Structure 1
Amino acid sequence: MAAEPLDDYINAVAKALALPVEEAWRPAVRANLEVSLRLARLVDDFPLPDEIEPASVYTA
């Protein structure tokens, strides 16, 4: 049984993707996932007014 919810997530994703994750890699995978989730939380928590418009797409 996994020690933390992130361990459960890592196990589930590895199984779904048929991706072997060696035990030696797990601390690094968990650390990377923690940082990614922390950065995603910053973006998700940033308040945007309802009238905001998406940026234009510029192509060269």
Structure 2
Amino acid sequence: RMMEVGLRAINGEAREDDYWSLIETYAKLWLSERKPEGLANVLSRFAKSLLMLRHGLRY
């Protein structure tokens, strides 16, 4: 899923629901393998990408 969203982002085709899906999937995977510490930092990076998309900004 991460590769799919990454390719869409590179091609300018990513949608907000792609990011929300990725955030949910990543959080579940993280919590199944690790303690919650550090997850907020990772999720904030995804949120930043989502907000940049929403406002038409690019890296």
TM-score, normalised with respect to structure 2: 0.37
Larger radius of gyration: 1
Larger RCO (alpha carbons 8 Å, 6+ apart): 2
TM-score, normalised with respect to structure 1: 0.36
Q: Which has the higher helix share?
A: 2
